[in-house]
Amino acid sequence: MPHEKTDTDTAKCPMSLGEVDLFEPGAQNFWYESYKILHRESPVHKIPGEGTSPDTDGFILSKYEDIAFVVKDILRFPPPVMKNTDLEKAGVSGFNAEKENIDKEKLPASSVVSRHDPSLMNAFQVSIQSLRPNEELWKAHKRQLTDPWVGPGAYRHEEMVTEATNKLIDNWIDKDKFDFVSEFAMPLPQIVMANIIGFPLEDIPFHKKWGDAMVMPFVYGKGHRNLLTKDQSDEQQVLLKDFGNYVIDQLEEKKKNPKEDMLSFLLDVTYEPFDRKLTDTEIIGVAYAMIIGGLETTQYAIAHQAVMLIDDPDLYVDLDKNREKINAFVEESLRVKAPTQGLSTRMTTQDEVFQGVKVPKGSILHLRYGAANVDPDTFECPHEIDLDRKALTRHLTFSQGHRTCPGNGISRLEQNIAWNCLMDRIEKFEYTTETKIEYQSGIMLGTLELLLNFSKK
């Protein structure tokens, strides 16, 4: 099923390098065509004047070997820092804007946020600065605080995720048609993350509102740096105003009645590297990261999988009969349609050369994970789902190295359980006559709605 363009989309299918623009409205519809041109003609593609300051540049990296190299060295390629003065002149606010009081020594492993965000994003920033200012602490933070919940330890949520999945299916199993996105792929990660963090399920509409506000730069932000205007940034802060207070309220409740959840754990844990408890601000920072990372990404992955399986009904039948292949399908679908297509989350600290192209110190690297995953020099028949492909988890959808997505364990678990439960109960999914597939605007690759018919088993 082709993807529909919306009225505001200006992009058309690029026929030459000069027509490639990954960031214009509607570009999502042609990203994979653009990648073919970039791989062939400009694998290190300069975006003039869009580096850390107006006299530096951005560079889109699209080759697997380059991105895999960059993400594994967090000291040589730290998160970018943009000068406040330059942003001010441009009237914009970036996710990576400079904060005056940042300790420059600690920059390599930190992520720097906008000065327009006095409260919430600062909690995230503070938690990064205080808990994991360097590579060793970054590893310790992941190992001790997030791995047991959303990383390798996520398997402990198997029963909860299965129950949540089946309850969602119960809600539409007796209908003729339903929206796979709003009635399944979207609520599943919302319920799962609320259960893991320990937020009441009835508050999910608020989590969704805050999650949407958190990802505003990735949906409405301009260019590869996801820059919001000052007005948009202020609007974001208004929307997010209540999240910090909400987490504080939840923490107070957990102090009185601790439960088997992540918030109670974070309140109780002695952070090994410092031999001390976490502050409330640090805990808010961790909760913020779980919400911003844990909702839409997994939603988009599950929705892409539905489209792929409807487009290839024999694959659905094969997976249904051979459930042990579902995991390979999940990995291949993540590779072929990465929800997080690209992020400008690294800069150069020295002059570099990629694919023979000089990239000066102070450039911002836009890591195009989606393109690297279909790099023909790394993956044979890169656009095909091949369940027998060697090293299935080699893709860059969750990145790699120490900064690899900490939530990959829970996301993979959700996707596997989703398809196992769906195949237990559904014989076949089909598009309806009204099905229109439109992509979410911005930097993510996600389907907004997916109306489906289905036959029950």
Contact residues for ligand HEM, defined by CB under 6 A: 71, 111, 150, 289-290, 293-294, 297-298, 301, 338-340, 343, 345, 369, 397-399, 403-407, 410-411
Dist. CA 156–CA 299, nearest whole Å: 21
Nearer to ligand HEM, 111 or 440 (CB): 111
Nearer to ligand HEM, 14 or 96 (CB): 96
Measured from the CB atom, the residue of 413 and 422 that comes closer to ligand HEM is 413
Tokens representing 298 are: 């997994």
Beta bridge partners, 1, equal none
Output the CA–CA distances (angstroms, integers) from residue 361 to 53, 60, 67, 76, in the order listed: 12, 15, 17, 10
Backbone angles phi, psi at 343, to 5 degrees: -140, 140
Question: Closer CB to ligand HEM, residue 165 or residue 411?
Answer: 411
Angle at CA 223, nearest 5°, toward 219 and 226?
A: 50
Give 46's strand partners: 59
User: In terms of CB distance, is 116 or 132 closer to ligand HEM?
Assistant: 132
C-beta of 445: minimal distance to ligand HEM in Å?
9
Closer residue to ligand HEM in complex, CB, 305/435 = 305
Q: How far is the CB of 434 from ligand HEM (least distance, A)?
A: 27
Helix (H) or strand (E) holding 229: strand 228-229
CB of 142 to ligand HEM, least distance (A): 8
Query: Which tokens is 137 given?
Result: 């602490």
Cα atoms found within 13 Å of the Cα of residue 410, Cβ hemisphere only: 32
Cα distance between residue 203 and residue 215, in whole Å: 19
Q: Where are the alpha helices (DSSP H) in 295-325?
A: 296-311, 313-321
What is the nearest approach in angstroms of ligand HEM to the Cβ of residue 284? 13
Residue in the block written with tokens 């279909």? 374
Q: How far is the CB of 325 from ligand HEM (least distance, A)?
A: 19
- Shortest separation between residue 332's beta carbon and ligand HEM, angstroms: 13
